[in-house]
Amino acid sequence: MAAQCVTKVELNISCDNLLDADIGSKSDPLCVLFLNTSGQQWYEVDRTERIKNCLNPKFSKTFIIDYYFEVVQKLKFGIYDIDNKTIELSDDDFLGECECTLGQIVSSKKLTRPLVLKNGKLAGKGSITISAEEIKDNRVVLFEMEARKLDNKDLFGKSDPYLEFHKQMSDGNWLMVYRTEVECYDYDNDGSHDLIGTFQTTMTKLKEASRNSPIEFECINEKKRQKKKSYKNSGVICVKQCEITVECTFLDYIMGGCQLNFTVGVDFTGSNGDPRSPDSLHYISPNGVNEYLTAIWSVGLVIQDYDADKMFPAFGFGAQVPPQWQVSHEFPMNFNPVNPYCNGIQGIVEAYRACLPQIKLYGPTNFSPIINHVARFAAAATQQQTASQYFVLLIITDGVITDLDETRQAIVNAAKLPMSIIIVGVGGADFSAMEFLDGDGGSLRSPSGEVAIRDIVQFVPFRQFQNAPKEALAQCVLAEIPQQVVGYFNTYKLLPPKKPATK
């Protein structure tokens, strides 16, 4: 599936302590941005200007990049000493490069990295700093308006007026941007809406309106004014209040320091089959993968850029666990209840591999314990009164949920918290219950009838992606996360913590 662009990001580049490649003068650096979309192939996106005789350049030209949350966007910044007029880089001195992801840049807001040469060695003391800013205008105008004494356009009955906003563009033309303002029409079902009147104003003037001091505008119908000498107006529009507010975007929260806390829950119930058998969903193939590992890698590689310490808790459920061999539905895969955290996505993979031979797959398939476990941490985060933490739980399962009522209640409770749940179904089981959980806000109810205040669950069966590119699964299950993050923090009017940019 095609990823949807969340927003556009502007990258500003500066360097320090570049290598001096010129004799008798200093290097004349230029920065080239490369993008990797196919795993191995890099292609050039853009270049900055060339700065003469400078080892600490601050480039004026910026790079504009489409930002996709659910995609790992690999970037490479190459610095070259330009001493000729050709566009080829092969005949220019290479001063170093830096590879990173766009996610790493925006989560840091300002990222400083050492420059390295083609052989992997440091390019002296050279470093590059990449600063990110979202390109946006997130101002929202709220109006309270009323009209009086509008012309009656209907033969039988009264007019049914509505308003439209029109914005004057730089070329002088008018563009309708919202229906309810500046032109006042009579709405007719057959589409032949009658113009009542128009007026023009500016935002500066509209902002003067308040409850104590409303502003009035006469609606003028030019055709009527030209025909009737006694014509005054076709009604009056009263702007009782005009307020401009700023709504935070996903990147406002991320760049402000909000962390996405990633937790993995893995189904170790007996229906998966003996991990030693090639027929088992937990069987690790000779090339080192299975559907569980693929899901962990796919989702985790995206999420990890938004967690500063890269320490991720990972739990199993539905297995008999040593030494008592009791069934557990939230045991740490590293068997350390005090510290269930794994170091990076690779750490989760290693814990999973080490866990398999030490447990006995059993059952049933209970989701609520792991959901409630993460929800407790999300609830604790709400005490901070800022948008500092959001929790993403990935559950990978092969079967039908046994504790469906308890899971419904757990999700309804979690919907009130900074939390999202991703469920990936592996194998060929009936996943209709999972699809039921993945409903729009208001459609999922607890057993007592309480309605989930927002949709926080995204379910997909892995079989839909068996022949798709490896990135497709993450693109599908993570696409809703930005709007879920923004929706939660906006609902509770929580602002970004404004953490200082880190190197």
pLDDT digits (tens, 9 = 90+) for 430-477: 888 787 787 654 578 899 999 999 999 999 999 999 888 888 999 999
Who's near 88: CB < 8 A, 6+ residues apart? none
Is 217 in contact with 237 (CB distance < 8 Å)?
A: yes
**Residue 213: inside a domain, yes or no?**
yes
Provide the angle, in degrees to the nearest 10, between the axes of the packed helices 344-355 and 291-303.
160
Radius of gyration, CA atoms only, the chain: 29
Q: What is the token pair recorded at 181? A: 């303002």
Same domain, 242 and 193: yes
Q: What is the token pair recorded at 377? A: 């941490």
pLDDT digits (tens, 9 = 90+) for 323-367: 999 999 999 999 999 999 999 999 999 999 999 999 999 999 999
Same domain, 129 and 204: no
Based on the structure, what is the number of domains in the chain? Answer: 3
**Residue 496: inside a domain, yes or no?**
no
What is the rounded distance in angstroms from the CA atom of residue 197 to the CA atom of residue 219?
Answer: 5
**Residue 1: inside a domain, yes or no?**
no
Q: What is the token pair recorded at 345? A: 């996505």
CATH number at residue 83: 2.60.40.150
Q: What is the pLDDT of residue 502?
A: 45
Same domain, 363 and 461: yes
What distance lies between CA 188 and its chain's CA centroid?
41
What is the rounded distance in angstroms from the CA atom of residue 410 to the CA atom of residue 446?
Answer: 8
pLDDT digits (tens, 9 = 90+) for 252-294: 999 999 999 999 999 999 999 999 999 999 999 998 899 999 9
Check residue 177 and report its DSSP letter.
E
What is the rounded distance in angstroms from the CA atom of residue 363 to the CA atom of residue 327?
Answer: 7
**Residue 497: inside a domain, yes or no?**
no
Is 409 in contact with 279 (CB distance < 8 Å)?
A: no
Q: Which amino acid is at 30?
A: L
CATH number at residue 381: 3.40.50.410
Q: What is the pLDDT of residue 333?
A: 98
Nearest-10 Cα torsion for 265, 270, 276, 281:
-60
In what helix (H) or strand (E) does residue 476 lie, and over which residues does it extend?
helix 472-478
Same domain, 234 and 297: no
What is the rounded distance in angstroms from the CA atom of residue 417 to the CA atom of residue 224?
Answer: 57
Closest among 97, 102, 124 to 113, alpha carbons compared: 97
For residue 128, the enclosing domain spans 7-135
Domain termination site, one of 135, 168, 188: 135
What percent of the chain is helix, strand and coil (3-state, nearest 5)? 20, 35, 45
Q: What is the token pair recorded at 502? A: 């880190």
pLDDT in tens, the chain (503 residues): 455 667 999 999 999 999 998 777 899 999 999 999 766 789 999 999 999 999 999 999 999 999 999 999 999 999 999 988 888 898 899 999 999 999 999 999 999 999 999 999 999 999 999 999 999 876 677 888 888 888 877 655 566 787 887 777 666 777 776 765 445 555 555 556 778 888 888 888 888 888 788 899 999 899 988 888 889 998 899 988 888 777 899 999 999 999 999 999 999 999 999 999 999 999 999 988 999 999 999 999 999 999 999 999 999 999 999 999 999 999 999 999 999 999 999 999 999 999 999 999 999 999 999 999 999 999 999 998 899 999 999 999 998 899 999 999 999 999 999 999 999 999 988 888 787 787 654 578 899 999 999 999 999 999 999 888 888 999 999 999 999 999 999 999 899 886 554 44
Same domain, 294 and 237: no
What is the rounded distance in angstroms from the CA atom of residue 246 to the CA atom of residue 139?
Answer: 4
Same domain, 362 and 446: yes
Same domain, 113 and 157: no
Q: What is the DSSP string of 236-299?
A: EEEEEEEEEEEPPPHHHHHHTT-EEEEEEEEE-BGGG--TTSTTSTTPPPTTS--HHHHHHHHH
Same domain, 445 and 325: yes
Domain termination site, one of 86, 108, 135: 135
**Residue 53: inside a domain, yes or no?**
yes
Same domain, 124 and 153: no
Q: What is the token pair recorded at 308? A: 């500063």
Judged by DSSP in three states, 94 sits in strand
**Residue 434: inside a domain, yes or no?**
yes
**Residue 284: inside a domain, yes or no?**
yes
CATH number at residue 235: 2.60.40
Give alpha helix (H) positions in 187-281. Answer: 203-206, 222-227, 250-255
Domain termination site, one of 88, 107, 135: 135
Q: Is this model's pTM higher than 0.75 or not?
A: yes
**Residue 14: inside a domain, yes or no?**
yes
Same domain, 379 and 432: yes
